[in-house]
Amino acid sequence: MAAALDLPLPAGARLTAERVEDGASYALPTGPARGGPPPAETLTGTITARAWRLAGAGPPAQIVAPLRAALEAEGFEILLDCAAETCGGYDFRYGTEVLPPPDMHVDLGRFRFLSARRDTEDGTEAVGLLASRSADAGHLQAIRVTPAGAAPPAPAPASPPVAPAPDEADDLAALLERDGHAALPGLAFAPGRSTLGPGPHPALAALADWLAADPERRVALVGHTDLTGALKPNVALSRRRAQAVLDVLARDHGVARDRLRAEGAGWLAPRAGNATPEGREANRRVEAVVTAGG
């Protein structure tokens, strides 16, 4: 593969982060997580980590598919290709390297990971790809290991001048004011659990800022699940997750509790079909619904 790792990115991809380290190591995941960090092969060389925001991109599986084909065409062996739940969900997301937000956004219920490697004359070359979605864009991270002595990776091509993309807060505020509701991306819950994963939680900071801008604003936090299991326990689980989000907003962001309420819809309000992993991922979420002052 060319030194620049010429990934077939969709039109409009905007580079958000680039980091190059010589003589560094990367733990390349080689299997799904099962109650802890995923199994990994530690490789040393030049580590190039890049992230892109993909305006108008499809679901994570659609983002990764052409990249997998390009890697296979260049002789890479695919080690792992999994969706959020099959990767190991929370354990996988927090057990592998991810560039920090807002450069890279990962929705725990809507991501896909692929790792690949090939042997060259200089040593082992490897790539780890992570794709996810936020409310209005796709997000892609590529971490590449180039063996010592190989040609260093070329800088990523400069993006053409474009209007700056809105940040997380602007995205959420625009959705709340336009639609009266918005899913809160990046909230990490372990499967079947209602404890909110460790932050930072940019979406909650954005929601707190939106509420602070107008003291009349009120929101209901509504949890949703996929169509797995009976309705009653799913409603209870989704409400507990919404309550966990409410507690973080009150405790960590200073939002008055009387401006918030927690509800659970279970699987009664899907936003995608439940027949595919991607659809189920999209349905597992907590939404903010404007109840006053929007």
Residue 106 has pLDDT above 70, yes or no: yes
Please, which residues have CB within 8 angstroms of residue 128's CB and are 6 or more apart in sequence? 26, 28, 29, 96, 97, 113, 114, 115, 141, 142, 143, 144
The pLDDT score that the predictor gives to residue 241 is 94
Chain position carrying tokens 């909650």: 204
* Mean pLDDT of the 163-172 span: 48
Biggest CA pair distance of the chain: 65
What distance in Å separates the CA atoms of residue 271 and residue 260, rounded to the nearest whole number?
23
Residue 218 has pLDDT above 60, yes or no: yes
Return the closest-CA partner of residue 57 out of 95, 110, 103: 110
What distance in Å separates the CA atoms of residue 37 and residue 292, rounded to the nearest whole number?
42
Domain ranges for the chain: 13-146, 168-292
Mean pLDDT value across the chain: 85
Out of 25-29, 60-64, 276-280, which region has the weakest mean confidence (pLDDT)? 276-280
Burial 195-210 (b: 16+ CB within 10 A, else e): ebbeeebbbbbbbbeb
What distance in Å separates the CA atoms of residue 8 and residue 270, rounded to the nearest whole number?
32
Q: What digits encode the pLDDT tens for the residues 238-271? A: 999 999 999 999 999 999 999 999 999 998 888 7
Q: What digits encode the pLDDT tens for the residues 65-74? A: 999 999 999 9
The CATH superfamily holding the domain 168-292 is OmpA-like domain (3.30.1330.60)
The domain 13-146: what is its CATH number? Answer: 3.40.1000
Return the closest-CA partner of residue 25 out of 8, 13, 11, 40: 40
Contact at 8 Å (CB) between 199 and 94? no
The pLDDT score that the predictor gives to residue 153 is 53
